[in-house]
C-alpha cells in the first residue's frame, strides 16, 4: 500500500455569475482549504458560500462531515421502496448532487457508499485503485454461483485471481489483434440486419415520392441483432435470429437476461441470503433467470467444444477465426469451468447493453437530422475509400465513435462505476478512508454543465474537438476506466458503430415525436417506452 503524499492539493471552482463556467484552479492545501459541497441542516439547504466560509480554517474535513441523505439505511431503503426510487435512481442521484454538491454519502439497507461525479475526483480515485482494482461485488450473482457450484468469471472476482484471468481474456477481446479478427464477423451480422430491414421496409412500408418508408419500434429487432452479433463473435457461429421464426431457445435467453437485470437492483440492498432461505419469489425469479442463462451458454459451449474436436484446429490453422470460445479452448490456458464462467458473463452482459443504446442512438439521430446527415456524409466517404474493409471504414469515420460516446454520455447503460481505494484519499476536501465503496455517477456526470458545455445538446463532434486534451480521460466512462474497465468494451463499441454505419448508408431516419424520452432504471438505463423510428430507404 502506498503512503499518503505529504502535500495535498484541492481543486476549487471559483464562483462567478450564474451560468458562468470558470476553470478549476489547483491551490496548495497550505494556501486554502475549502469544501465544494452544500449541506442539509434541520431539513433546510445551506448554500455553498456559507459552508465554504466555515471551511476556511485550513483543515481537511472528516468522513462523517460529508453531506448525506440520511444515516439510517433501513429507513432510507423503505423510502426508496415507497417512492419507487429504484426505477428512477439516476434522477435521484441527479437531484441529490444538485442539492448537496459534488460529493455525498448514501446508506441503503446493507449498502453504504460515497457518490462523486467530477472528473478531477475520478482521477484521484483511479490513482488509488491499485494493481487489483475492486468494484462492488454483486452479491446476488455471486450467491447464485455458489449455490449452483459454478465458477466465477472476472466480473465477480477480485485480487490476483482476477488479474490472472483478466490478462488472458484481454488477449482475445481487448487487444487490437483480437479486434481485427472479430470485426468481419460483426460486420457480416450488421450487413445482414440491414438487408433484413430493407426487405421489411419494401414489403410493409408505404411509398412517398417513390421512396419506401416504415415506422416501427425497432427494439425487438435490435435485441435479436445484439444476440446474433455476440454469438457470432463469442462462439464463432451464427444462430439464425434473422429468420422469420427465431428459435425458442434464443427468445428464452433474451427473456432471462431481462429478468435477471430487473431483479438485481432490489436484491443488492436486501439480505438476499435470508430471501434464499425463505424462498422469496424475488430471489426465485433471479435464480431461475440465471439458470436459463447458464443453460443457454452451456449448450453453445458444448457445441463449440465438439466442433473443436471435429477439425476446427485445421480451420484455425488456415486462418479461420473460431470465435472467442474457440481461441480460449485451443490455447488451454483457462480451465473449462473458467471458460464457461467468463463466456456466460460475456453473453449475459452483451445483449441489453448494446441493444438499448442503439435504441437511443436511432432516436437521437432521427430527431437531429442535421447531425445525422453530417455523420452520414463522413460514413459514405470513408466506406467508399475502405474498399469493404470494416476496420478502415470505422477509422475514417470518427463521428461514428463520437455518436456512440455521445449516446453513452446522455444515456449511460450502467449509471455508476464503482471502486474501493486501497489507501486513504481526499475528495472535495473530505477525508475518505481506504476500502470505502465509491460510486462515480455517470448520468449526472454526462449532463452536468460543470463538465460539458451545453450538456443537453446531442453533439458527436464534441469528442473530436476535445480529443487528446489534458483531463479529458475521465469524462467518457460508460465502459469504466483502468484495468477493470468493461471486458467486452471492444466488442460492444464496434458492434454499435458498424450497425449505425450500415443503417446510415441504407436509410434516412426520422421520429414521429421529438419529445425527450422518459427513462427508467432496471440495473441498466433504458426508455420507459421504446421509441418509434421511421426508416426511409435511400
Contact by Cβ (8 Å): 333, 164: no
Contact by Cβ (8 Å): 474, 446: no
Is 536 assigned to a binding site?
Answer: no
Distance in angstroms (rounded) separating the CA atoms of residues 245 and 272: 38
H or E element that contains 513: none
Q: Which residues are CB-neighbours of 408 under 8 A, at least 6 positions away?
A: 357, 446, 476, 478, 479
- What would the grid cell of residue 202 be? 419494401
Q: Which of 18, 57, 3, 15 is nearest to 34 (CA)?
A: 57
User: Strands, DSSP E only, in 150-295?
Assistant: 206-208, 211-216
CA angle, 328 as apex, 317 and 341 as ends, to 5°? Answer: 160
Is the sign of the CA dihedral 382, 462, 369, 503 positive or negative? positive
> How many Å is the maximal CA-CA distance in the chain?
74
How far CA 450 is from CA of 222, 329, 413, in Å, comes to 34, 48, 22
Is the sign of the CA dihedral 212, 218, 223, 229 positive or negative? positive
Contact by Cβ (8 Å): 103, 66: yes
Name the β-bridge partners of 24: 13
- State how beta strands 9-13 and 24-28 pair: antiparallel
Contact by Cβ (8 Å): 423, 128: yes
* φ, ψ (nearest 5 deg) of residue 336: -60, -40
Name the β-bridge partners of 208: 211
Contact by Cβ (8 Å): 171, 214: no
Locate cell 441527479: which residue? 94
Question: How far is CA 460 from its chain centroid?
Answer: 18
Distance in angstroms (rounded) separating the CA atoms of residues 538 and 213: 9
Annotated binding site for heme: 486
Annotated binding site: 486
Amino acid at each position: 500500500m502506498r503512503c499518503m503524499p505529504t502535500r495535498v492539493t484541492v481543486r476549487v471552482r471559483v464562483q462567478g455569475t450564474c451560468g458562468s463556467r470558470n476553470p478549476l484552479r489547483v491551490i496548495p492545501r497550505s494556501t486554502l482549504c475549502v469544501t465544494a459541497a452544500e449541506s442539509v441542516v434541520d431539513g433546510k439547504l445551506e448554500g455553498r458560500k456559507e459552508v465554504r466560509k466555515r471551511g476556511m480554517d485550513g483543515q481537511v474535513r472528516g468522513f462523517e462531515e460529508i453531506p448525506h441523505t440520511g444515516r439510517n439505511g433501513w429507513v432510507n431503503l423503505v423510502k426508496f421502496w415507497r417512492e419507487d426510487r429504484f426505477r428512477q435512481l439516476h434522477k435521484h442521484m441527479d437531484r441529490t448532487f444538485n442539492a448537496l454538491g459534488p460529493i455525498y454519502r448514501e446508506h441503503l439497507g446493507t449498502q453504504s457508499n460515497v457518490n462523486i461525479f467530477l472528473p478531477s475526483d475520478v482521477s484521484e480515485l483511479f490513482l488509488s485503485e491499485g494493481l487489483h482494482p475492486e468494484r462492488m461485488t454483486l452479491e446476488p450473482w455471486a450467491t447464485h454461483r455458489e449455490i449452483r457450484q459454478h465458477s466465477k468469471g472476472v466480473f465477480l472476482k477480485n485480487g490476483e485471481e482476477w488479474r490472472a484471468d483478466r490478462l488472458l481474456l484481454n488477449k482475445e477481446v481487448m487487444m487490437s489483434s483480437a479486434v481485427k479478427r472479430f470485426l468481419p464477423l460483426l460486420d457480416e451480422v450488421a450487413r445482414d440486419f440491414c438487408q433484413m430491414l430493407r426487405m421489411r421496409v419494401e414489403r410493409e412500408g408505404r411509398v412517398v415520392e417513390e421512396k419506401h418508408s416504415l415506422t416501427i419500434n425497432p427494439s425487438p429487432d435490435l435485441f435479436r441483432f445484439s444476440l446474433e452479433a455476440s454469438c457470432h463473435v463469442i462462439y464463432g457461429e451464427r444462430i439464425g435470429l434473422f429468420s422469420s421464426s427465431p428459435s425458442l431457445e434464443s427468445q428464452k435467453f433474451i427473456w432471462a437476461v431481462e429478468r435477471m437485470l430487473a431483479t438485481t437492483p432490489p436484491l443488492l440492498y436486501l439480505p438476499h441470503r435470508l430471501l434464499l432461505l425463505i424462498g422469496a419469489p424475488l430471489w426465485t425469479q433471479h435464480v431461475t433467470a440465471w439458470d436459463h442463462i447458464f443453460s443457454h451458454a452451456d449448450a453453445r459451449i458444448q457445441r463449440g467444444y465438439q466442433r473443436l474436436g471435429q477439425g476446427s484446429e485445421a480451420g484455425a490453422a488456415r486462418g479461420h477465426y473460431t470465435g472467442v470460445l474457440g481461441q480460449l479452448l485451443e490455447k488451454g490456458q483457462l480451465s473449462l469451468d473458467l471458460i464457461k464462467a467468463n463466456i456466460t458473463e460475456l453473453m449475459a452482459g452483451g445483449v441489453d447493453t448494446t441493444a438499448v443504446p442503439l435504441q437511443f442512438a436511432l432516436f437521437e439521430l432521427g430527431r437531429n437530422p442535421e447531425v445525422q446527415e453530417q455523420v452520414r456524409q463522413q460514413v459514405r466517404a470513408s466506406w467508399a475509400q475502405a474498399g469493404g474493409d470494416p476496420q478502415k471504414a470505422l477509422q475514417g469515420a470518427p463521428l461514428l465513435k463520437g455518436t456512440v460516446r455521445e449516446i453513452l454520455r446522455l444515456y449511460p447503460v450502467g449509471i455508476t462505476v464503482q471502486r474501493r481505494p486501497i489507501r486513504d484519499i481526499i475528495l472535495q476536501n473530505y477525508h475518505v478512508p481506504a476500502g470505502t465503496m465509491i460510486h462515480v455517477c455517470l448520468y449526472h456526470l454526462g449532463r452536468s454543465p460543470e463538465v460539458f458545455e451545453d450538456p443537453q445538446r446531442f453533439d458527436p463532434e464534441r469528442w473530436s474537438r476535445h480529443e487528446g486534451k489534458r483531463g479529458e480521460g475521465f469524462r467518457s466512462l460508460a465502459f469504466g476506466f483502468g484495468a477493470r474497465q468493461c471486458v467486452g468494451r471492444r466488442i460492444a463499441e464496434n458492434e454499435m458503430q458498424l450497425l449505425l454505419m450500415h443503417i446510415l448508408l441504407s436509410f434516412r431516419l426520422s421520429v414521429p415525436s421529438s419529445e425527450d424520452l422518459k427513462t427508467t432504471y432496471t440495473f441498466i438505463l433504458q426508455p420507459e417506452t421504446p421509441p418509434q423510428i421511421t426508416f426511409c430507404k435511400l
